[in-house]
Structure 1
Amino acid sequence: MISLPLLLFVLFFSALLLFPSSSDDDGGGDAAGDELALLSFKSSLLYQGGQSLASWNTSGHGQHCTWVGVVCGRRHPHRVVKLRLRSSNLAGIISPSLGNLSFLRTLQLSDNHLSGKIPQELSRLIRLQQLVLNFNSLSGEIPAALGNLTSLSVLELTNNTLSGAIPSSLGKLTGLTDLALAENTLSGSIPSSFGQLRRLSFLSLAFNNLSGAIPDPIWNISSLTIFEVISNKLSGTLPTNAFSNLPSLQEVYMYYNQFHGRIPASIGNASNISIFTIGLNSFSGVVPPEIGRMRNLQRLELPETLLEAKETNDWKFMTALTNCSNLQEVELGGCKFGGVLPDSVSNLSSSLVSLSIRDNKISGSLPRDIGNLVNLQYLSLANNSLTGSLPSSFSKLKNLRRLTVDNNKLIGSLPFTIGNLTQLTNMEVQFNAFGGTIPSTLGNLTKLFQINLGHNNFIGQIPIEIFSIPALSEILDVSHHNLEGSIPKEIGKLKNIVEFHADSNKLSGEIPSTIGECQLLQHLFLQNNFLNGSIPIALTQLKGLDTLDLSGNNLSGQIPMSLGDMPLLHSLNLSFNSFHGEVPTNGVFANASEIYIQGNAHICGGIPELHLPTCSLKSRKKKKHQILLLVVVICLVSTLAVFSLLYMLLTCHKRRKKEVPATTSMQGHPMITYKQLVKATDGFSSSHLLGSGSFGSVYKGEFDSQDGEITSLVAVKVLKLETPKALKSFTSECETLRNTRHRNLVKIVTICSSIDNRGNDFKAIVYDFMPNGSLEDWLHPETNDQAEQRHLTLHQRVTILLDVACALDHLHFHGPEPIVHCDIKSSNVLLDADMVAHVGDFGLARILIEGSSLMQQSTSSMGIRGTIGYAAPEYGVGNTASTHGDIYSYGILVLETVTGMRPADSTFRTGLSLRQYVEPGLHGRLMDVVDRKLGLDSEKWLQARDVSPCSSITECLVSLLRLGLSCSQELPSSRTQAGDVINELRAIKESLSMSSDM
């Protein structure tokens, strides 16, 4: 017999099965309403993402559930529960009709181009759990009605243009775990109602205009793990118990605000903090030693504050930090720390990679055992009052990459063991009292690109070993010492050095002519020495020289007229020497504010503003005789040249009659015949074909030793003379490469201008062979090619881009004449056996007319100006070739190298360019845009959270994307110049090396 309670239960359960709740009814009308809401949303879009919404055109019962981005429920199979259209290239407004999707739980529209306001109607979505609208262009205020979405757990509105105050009604969203409102223009204060968000784990309010104090209730959200209020106008002090109730807190970002007062000792209660960055505020007092209770601490950044240390006890926090075994970065620069640096610094975590206490008032000696920090990569103690010498343990810092101890009172000699720091890239010890000789072991530091030893008390000679450092390219400063002897001729090995300072020493002898081999030298300071002799003519080969100071020496002779021909020379100091004769009036000499020549008793002439005596008639006659002699010589040479040309033409004519192939060669290059090229390329067979372009085909050539001087592999470019303008391309390439030499330019071996076996004109250019092909081959290998297995690492890609930038800088500013390449692209970047990049294919190049300030006139009249996708936009409207155009193409090349996408990739949706494709990578979606192969490597780095350089890898990739976008801006004058590109890439390469070596 069934009991009454059991019978009632059975009847109630049966009723539930037979009569479902009306609130969950899935009637056809509601499903149709969802479809109409979606179609209304689609109709509100100005651009529908190409193929993204192409499927949104079928109708019928439940068909909308098959549309892209639409997910329907299981219990209610025709009701929309998720709408996910992230990164779908949508533009337009968010339709209020989405408020009719009453079953919606997830609305994800981030990384699009949506604009307008957030519709109030979204507040009707009472089941909504995730509202993600990041990275759009939404404006207006955050609707207060969103506070009605009580089921919401994630609200992300980062990186829009939202304004106004944060509505306090958001405090009603008690189930919220993630609240991200960063990178808008929000103002007003942080609502105190946020203290009700007891489940909140992630709170990001960074990069807004918020003001006022942090409400006390926020310090009681025990679930908070990440707290970001970077770069606002927040002020006030932190309560003494601020961190007492935050046991889950892991990351704190509060820098660049207006906070003041002390750091509360309660910080020790938040023992799980791994990142604590509160710099660029007005915090004062001493750092509480309780900070050492944060056992998981990895980054401590307190720079640019009023924090101080005066007595020994004030440094107790440093001793306490020795308990933090995971500590990797300590930044205390720009504060008011004084007294003696405690020995406990040497006992900090062995995982420490960065220690900066620059710009303080620290005195005393460096800790004796600082060498215990064996993994230290960056040490900055500059601008303090440190005394004593470098401790002997310093030689243990074999991972050190940057050492800056300049502007202190350090004494003693630089130990010879400093040569053990083979990873060092920057060495800045200037403005101290170091003495003795400069150790020759500095030559062991092959990665150094900056050495600054100036303003010390070194004696002896400049060690020649320094000039053999291959990476040395930025600054070599050995000024303001008591150095003697001559400037070593080995200075010519520093091909890429930008600044050389050897002023204010006791150097003697002549200026070595080898200095003319320093191709990238821009600033040369040799003043206040005992140098003698004349100014070497080789010095005028430095086309990029901007500043030259030779004052206060014993130099004599005439001032070379060719100094006035140096296009970039803007500051010239020749004062207080023994020069004589006429002062030139061209170039830098035409501006009295740019030259200094006082203290030379026997000079004359020059521009009137110099107020020099007029040159005597005798000297004028001498000059006229010299000019007359020069004219006679020129006439004789010209006459001989004319006769030689007539002879060559006559010989060529006779050879044509006999149908014997004629051959010409560039000056300084070996002769080569058509017959030799046929043999070397196996009759120009397809098996030797390397590639084909608009104006010619390139073949691999193999020469036997008996064929003359050429004994190695070469690349032979055979011109398609039937193609219009191919002959002009040949002429342009020959003219460009005739006198241009650089390690990153393809070297021309010779040319052949002859006739083939059929009597047709034949023209070919022979280059050095590049065994590793082109950058295009590596970035876009054929699917059936073994090259698909090859992979360029991030370090290799940055190195290749740096090589190309150096080539452009040389072409634009440092060659015999300014040259615009006009066709920079990945297929024209060739890689030798050592993976050194060489720019080739100068068939479209322009030699710019000197004297044009904009450098936009060209000696070529060819109309083609590059390849689609790479060519600058101004070329499309008929603008003449310019260096700005090359930089645009280079910017596209940078983006292509990082993303692995061609600039005119067929997978791009209509209207989407490579520039637009990479933009999401700057807003949190980095791995979505970088090359898949590169992305896999980067993900491994990024997942290693316990290794500090992880963030550096991300920053390198972002910096490369920003560089590519900066170089490829629409306005030519806004594009970054090649010299600045080089500096940026060197910094990226250094940062990358720090990360990849860990």
Structure 2
Amino acid sequence: MEMRRWLLRPLALLTTTTALLLNTSTSTSSSISTAHDLPTLLSFKSLITKDPLGALSSWTINSSSNGSTHGFCSWTGVKCSRTHPGHVMALRLQGIGLSGTISPFLGNLSRLRVLDLSNNKLEGQIPPSLGNCFALRRLNLSVNSLSGAIPPAMGNLSKLVVLAIGSNNISGTIPPSFADLATVTVFSIASNYVHGQIPPWLGNLTALKDLNVEDNMMSGHVPPALSKLTNLRFLFLGTNNLQGKNELQATESRDWDFLTSLANCSSLSTVDLQLNNLSGILPNSISNLSQKLETLQVGGNQIAGHIPTGIGRYYKLTVLEFADNLFTGTIPSDIGKLSNLRNLFLFQNRYHGEIPLSLGNMSQLNKLILSNNNLEGSIPATFGNLTELISLDLSSNLLSGQIPEEVMSISSLALFLNLSNNLLDGPITPHVGQLVNLAIMDLSSNKLSSAIPNTLGSCIELQFLYLQGNLLHGQIPKEFMALRGLEELDLSNNNLSGPVPEFLESFQLLKNLNLSFNQLSGPVPDTGIFSNASIVSLTSNGMLCGGPVFYHFPACPYLAPDKLARHKLIHILVFTVVGAFILLGVCIATCCYINKSRGDARQGQENIPEMFQRISYTELHSATDSFSVENLIGRGSFGSVYKGTFGSGANLITAAVKVLDVQRQGATRSFMSECNALKRIRHRKLVKVITVCDSLDHSGSQFKALVLEFIPNGSLDKWLHPSTEGEFQTPSLMQRLNIALDVAEALEYLHHHIDPPIVHCDVKPSNILLDDNMVAHLGDFGLAKIIRAEESSQSLTGQSSSVGIKGTIGYLAPEYGMGTEISVEGDVYSYGVLLLEMLTGRRPTDPFFNESTNLPNYIEMACPGNLLETMDVNIRCNQEPKATLELFAAPVSKLGLACCRGPARQRIRMSDVVRELGAIKRLIMASQNFASWSTAQ
């Protein structure tokens, strides 16, 4: 009590002194002395330690009077009552940077209706005396640094309509006295440290329209009484320790009772349980929901069991999504009764058996994704009835037989057709020419034989064509000349012969052409795309000659026409004989594989299909010198990377071998995720996958590895933050700009130029590798996720490599910590942090930053006047002109902040980032050229 008197004594003295000053004033002294709200305002000002905008400069007695009885009513932020002169009705001082504490004498403002001190830097506790402001309607103290508990006396504010005290450091529990706030419509205590349970009496505050308690330390269950809030429009309970809400969990059968209770919701149209921690067996009660159900989504969990056979009763269903779970059994045939279904996503599970013929009855189907299962048998010819289908993905299964011509005749297919990584055989039907609207076709890693049909040249909308890893022979059709929209063409690992088509020289959009591991012969073109080593791959075609020197092919010999004809005839005979032996061997191996794969599938193994196995453990063991320490390049989250040397003599190849620690939790899923991502991507700024190994080591233990393109200059992290002085020379300004542009182009490709898009999920300097020319290559797709971009805000339609938060602290998008699903915007945020790290030379986890700030905030506070001081000292020491530094710092920081905006939907797109960086680069180069010209003059 003595301490309290001691603390309040200066304020009492201030009030007394103010009264004495007023009583001795020569101007309207008697009138002003009755204005008892004036001393309260002066006491408030006395506790403000910083006023950066000078908002309270008008709060002086002399300047306010001017002959008026109540001059303080014209002070900044002060509004007085008309019916009660001399009494403050509203005090609004929001967003002006005030520091200090809140005066307890504000409780004397008996007529105060509005108090808004939000968005300042006020500290200390909320004064309990505010509970005496019985006329208060709106109280907003949010976004400050207030601490302590919520005063129970505030429960006396019976007329309160808005209570907003979020984004502070407030602790304690919600006072029971708040149960009397019957008129409150907005109740926000978000982003504090409030703990305890959500009080059931909140359900009695039936006037509530906005209830926000997210980002606190609340525990327990969500009280059922909240269902009485019939006027509620917004309810935010996320980022707490609540049970059964933030991340729904189910391990035992009783945990699924919530689903059973939904059977009483007769008008239920949407059930979305994606990306939670649901596990165990899906109960049959899911077949008892409302027949008005239109959307059913349970993807991204660990749910096991079968799809209930009663699923066919939901005749209004348009979206059915059970993807990325542990479902087993067969796909029930009654699923074909869902005649209104638009999207069916069952990928990344353990379904086996044949694809039901009844799926062909769903005539409204737009997207059918059944990839990454153990489905067997042939592709149903009934799929030809799906005349509305725009996307079909049956990849990574055990499907066999020929591709039905009915499937190759679905002219509505426009986004993608993916049948890769199966056991499909036979020729590609000429009916493929009917897919005139298709953008992406992937038939890779099968056993397709015969020649590539000429009719494929009719698919003029193709942008990506993948036929690698088959048994195709014959020449590349000249009809491919019409496919000028191609961006990627991969025909590698086949038995193709004949010349490299010269017409490919003029394919201006082509970014990746892979014709390696074939039997091509003759001269290599030396102009157009063939003059760019990063675009074209022609390795292991033993009879090619000529071309640019970097291909290292021998010069083409001159042959007379008659000798040339005999030469070709000999080649044909040799190829025929050799091809026959190869075909025989492949057929034998295929038969053995089919028997083994089906046996493995029945045993429920989760290994990737055998057709991925292109290299043995023994070969990798030899190439890395028994995985010696001398060849160890680095260690990652799921294993180690070694330098490997393959071949001998002129065919010597250096590669990076990423060996997974299969004992580490999540490593196998990371391997699958990286395989699924890398097999689809072809871009010169992405680390290329050469082959994979899924085998056993010499001790009989499971062994998984990826063989990747070797990038000699190491990671960007080592260049930006060398561990020892002189180890690496930090990149120059232009090198950093070029690296930033390289990574942006890689992400633009992943987000906007393949379908489905891929989210990298771990963009950071250690995952960016630099080649001899300091060109950046984005790698490590162990966390990558494949999504449908246009539906990412509503449904999971891709594959997740892990459950929970993906990424690295510091680069992780803030919304991921609140349970938001993976999105391309998350990559954009990580890229923005990377960009600012390259600008400042500071890691986002630098001890320089504390709990109150981070790298984006640091740059934002420095804008615009102090940006040069934030730049990496290594850039400033490179003798760059100040004008060049400014041309770099200002737009790059602005771009980085545009990537790091809080609301994900407000972040810039990667395609726009590429365009902006290109403009920045051109501007800097122009200034440098001008400076050079001026010096020369």
With structure 1 as the length reference, what TM-score do the two structures score? 0.46
With structure 2 as the length reference, what TM-score do the two structures score? 0.48
Tell me which of the two structures has the higher relative contact order, counting C-alpha pairs closer than 8 angstroms and 6 or more residues apart: 2
